[in-house]
A and B are shown apart, each in its own frame.
Chain A
């Protein structure tokens, strides 16, 4: 935008006043009229349209659909005509001990993942990075990436085959005179089981970004550190770890923002085996109360609480990252 003052100065500087923005001439300061820009870019707009339509219909319309949380929603009437009930659903939700149990479970599983799963990919990346043979590195990478691409249904099925009551390990133990293992149905072992499944599935995938950060480290830094007498541990502490600091913080921010989503399908699939008390998390609470028991309003209220808290968490975690002088997920 050119202020009147600059415009005047420009005119004063070039005595024969130029025609103000000739038609068709694209100058830096003035943009062609909207109608013309729309016409010039019609291909681009046509390319954009289906995607835009998708986001409007499947994100922004259901966002409005959160109104169900304030309604006594009746599927046969539709959400437009269902009666508004104000905050009654939220009152019911907060008075429900099962809801608080699901909150507690969610936070407990999230804490376990933060302590055991979060550092695992970094540890594996450091280990792989210390190898010299690129062939071994690539082989291990191929193997550990694979589980990321299989569905949770498959993961649970595979774990059943190996750790279940009739699984491989149980069979082996029975054959050798021990009692069988029953990890898959034991509510006390469940947190451990869930965490190891997450590690098994995604340790390799989580490693990719660390490996890239490590590959970008200037090798001469290691060399000069070595010349200065730093042994391999000192080099790791003073060169390697600082190099992955900002990536780690970015991933931590993302993880904190997503702390209330601990893995919906994983819990849904195993809830029957270990019971609701052990496996109910916020997402399964929403599903069972809303869709299965038909308590739509309460389910939607729980989902809305989760969404809002999750968005606040991302925002807060990012603020924290900025406070530590890191870029975080998005910059200020």
Chain B
């Protein structure tokens, strides 16, 4: 997030043009109120969860469930769930799926997008049409389920990765970006004797770091957030990723036993639930500030050229 230090003098782009009338005091304060309320509504839930996950047992009992400002923060809930039981395993599963899935998705997406962005590759036109058609019509849940089952992927982590390996929208974004690279660069590289592979790895990919970062983030978020596929394809609760655990024990409110957590002493259940929520949230919060600057660029390339 952009928490830059306050600058002492106003930057030139912050100046109001001479012809524009300054807003009325009423309009100005109305805007300020609306924006403050919007930001508060967005942030408050996160704050509640964070605070409650850090609150002590006494404080939770005293407040009747929720704490907004813990006076005596403790990491008890986190040490409880991270000591090797159900939640720890789910977090590891989610991390593994996210890392493997994102890598494979990026490799295949870059490859296909690059091949579809160049002229003269045999078959690229029909393949592009095939891809674009998938944006209009999805095969449907039942046929997908039947396919995954008949491929023998049920109860396998591959069932969380393979069915969503490439997202057609991400592919279109990336292809549009590749097509915007000036043709002269390709020709210059060719004259220097670079083959297709070299051009891709030495010229195209370094120039496309931004779009690769954005698409990678989109994939990573999708894998991390995957809930329905896991629920559908994994019967064995030992294989559950974090989102399914979150659903069972936080949304549906089943109690997590100390047995499942692999501990004897437990933090208060309320802060345990909230600590699970925080764990599911953490990677997103960590990635977000780094990739944010690429968002609008990446999204717009796709939206406008798509």
Which residues of A are at the interface with B, using a C-beta cutoff of 8 A? 34, 37-38, 41, 43-48, 50-52, 54-55, 57-66, 68-69, 73, 75, 78-79, 124, 127, 130-136, 138-140, 142-147, 149-154, 156-162, 166-168, 171, 174-175, 200, 204, 208-209, 211-212, 219, 222-223, 226-227, 231-232, 250, 257, 264-265, 268-269, 272, 283, 286-287, 290-291, 296, 299-300, 303-304, 306-308, 310-311, 314-315, 329
Do the beta carbons of A48 and B127 come within 8 Å of each other? yes
CB proximity to A under 8 Å, residues B1-47: 1-4, 6-7, 11, 13-17, 19-21, 23, 31, 34-35, 38-39, 41-46
Bound CA span A59–B139, Å: 6
Contacting A at CB under 8 A, from B57-83, are: 63-66, 68
Contacts A43-B195, A47-B114, A51-B111; A132 near B284 (Cβ below 8 A): no
With A65-B143, A290-B145 in contact, do A157 and B122 touch (Cβ < 8 Å)? no
With a cutoff of 8 Å between Cβ atoms, the chain B residues found around residue A131 in the complex are 31
**Interface residues of B, Cβ cutoff 8 Å to A:** 1-4, 6-7, 11, 13-17, 19-21, 23, 31, 34-35, 38-39, 41-46, 48-49, 52, 63-66, 68, 107-112, 114-116, 118, 120-124, 127, 130-131, 134, 136-147, 149-150, 162-163, 165-166, 171, 195-197, 200, 221, 224-225, 227-228, 232, 243, 246-247, 250-252, 274, 277, 280-281, 284-285, 288-289, 292, 295-296, 299-300, 303, 306
Query: Are B142 and A296 in contact, CB atoms less than 8 angstroms apart?
Result: yes
CB of A175, distance to nearest CB on chain B (Å) = 8
Complex CA distance for A323 and B133, rounded to whole angstroms = 22
4 nearest CB pairs, A to B: A51-B112, A65-B143, A151-B225, A303-B140
A-B residue pairs in contact (CB < 8 Å), sample of 21:
A46-B111, A47-B200, A48-B115, A50-B108, A52-B127, A54-B165, A55-B131, A62-B140, A130-B31, A142-B1, A145-B292, A146-B284, A151-B225, A153-B280, A156-B251, A168-B66, A211-B296, A265-B228, A287-B141, A300-B143, A303-B143
A207 to nearest B CB, angstroms?
A: 10
A66 to B137, CA, bound (A): 12
Q: Which of A146, A153, A219 contacts B227 (CB 8 A)?
A: A153
A51-B112, A168-B66 known; A161 vs B48 contact (CB < 8 Å) = yes
Which B-chain residue is minimally distant from A184 (CB atoms)? B251
Knowing A47-B200, A127-B35, A162-B48 touch, does A79 contact B146 (C-beta < 8 A)?
A: yes
- Chain A residues with CB under 8 Å of B114's CB are 44, 47
CB-nearest residue of chain A to B142? A300
* Nearest Cβ on chain A to B123's Cβ, whole angstroms: 8
Asked if B228 and A268 sit within 8 Å, CB to CB, the answer is: yes
Residues of A within 8 A of B16 (CB): 132
**How far, in angstroms, from A223 to B17 measured CA to CA in the complex?**
9
Given known pairs A52-B112, A139-B2, A212-B296, the reply for A153 and B246 (CB within 8 Å) is yes
List of A residues within 8 angstroms of B138 by Cβ: 59, 307
Q: Which residues of chain B are near A211, meaning CB under 8 Å?
A: 296
- Shortest B83–chain A CB gap in Å is 22
- With contact pairs A58-B147, A158-B49 given, residues A149 and B251 touching in the complex (Cβ less than 8 Å): no
Q: How far is the CA of A296 from the CA of B149 in the complex (A)?
A: 13
Majority SS at the chain B contact face: helix
Report which residue of A38, A65, A150, A153 has the largest number of chain B beta carbons within 10 angstroms of its beta carbon.
A153
**Given A68-B146, A171-B66, A290-B141, are A124 and B38 also a contact pair (CB < 8 Å)?**
yes
Contacts of B68 in A (CB 8 A): 168
Chain B residues near A45 (CB, 8 Å)? 115, 121-123
Q: Which of B149, B166, B227 contacts A55 (CB 8 A)?
A: B166
Q: Assuming the A-B contacts A45-B115, A140-B35, are A160 and B251 also in contact, with contact meaning beta carbons closer than 8 angstroms in the complex?
A: yes
* A-B contact sample (8 more), CB < 8 A, given A47-B110, A47-B200: A52-B130, A54-B162, A136-B35, A156-B251, A208-B296, A219-B17, A265-B228, A314-B136
Which residue of chain A lies nearest to B13 when distances are taken between CB atoms in the complex?
A134
Q: List B contacts of A219 (CB < 8 A).
A: 17
Contact check, A161 vs B14: say whether CB atoms are below 8 A apart: no
Report the minimal beta-carbon distance from B154 to chain A, rounded to whole angstroms.
11
Q: Is A157 touching B250 in the complex (CB atoms < 8 A)?
A: yes
With both beta carbons as reference points, the residue of chain B lying nearest to A65 in the complex is identified as B143
Residue of A43, A130, A200, A308 near B197 (CB, 8 A) is A43
Specify the chain A residue showing the minimal Cβ separation from B115.
A48
**In the complex, are the beta carbons of A63 and B143 less than 8 A apart?**
yes
Closest to B41 in A: A200
B20 in contact with A226 (CB, 8 Å): yes
Instruction: Contact check, A54 vs B66: say whether CB atoms are below 8 A apart.
Output: no
By a CB distance below 8 angstroms, the chain A residues around B281 are: 150, 154
C-alpha gap A174/B124 in the complex (Å) = 64
State in angstroms the CA–CA spacing of A329 and B303 once bound together.
9
- Most B CB atoms within 10 A — which of A47, A145, A264? A47
| Residues in B whose Cβ lies below 8 Å from that of A51 | 108-109, 111-112, 115, 166, 171
Contacting residues, chain A, for B247 (C-beta < 8 A): 153, 269
> Is there an interface contact between A158 and B295, defined as CB atoms closer than 8 Å?
no
**Separation of A289 and B233 alpha carbons in the complex (Å):** 16
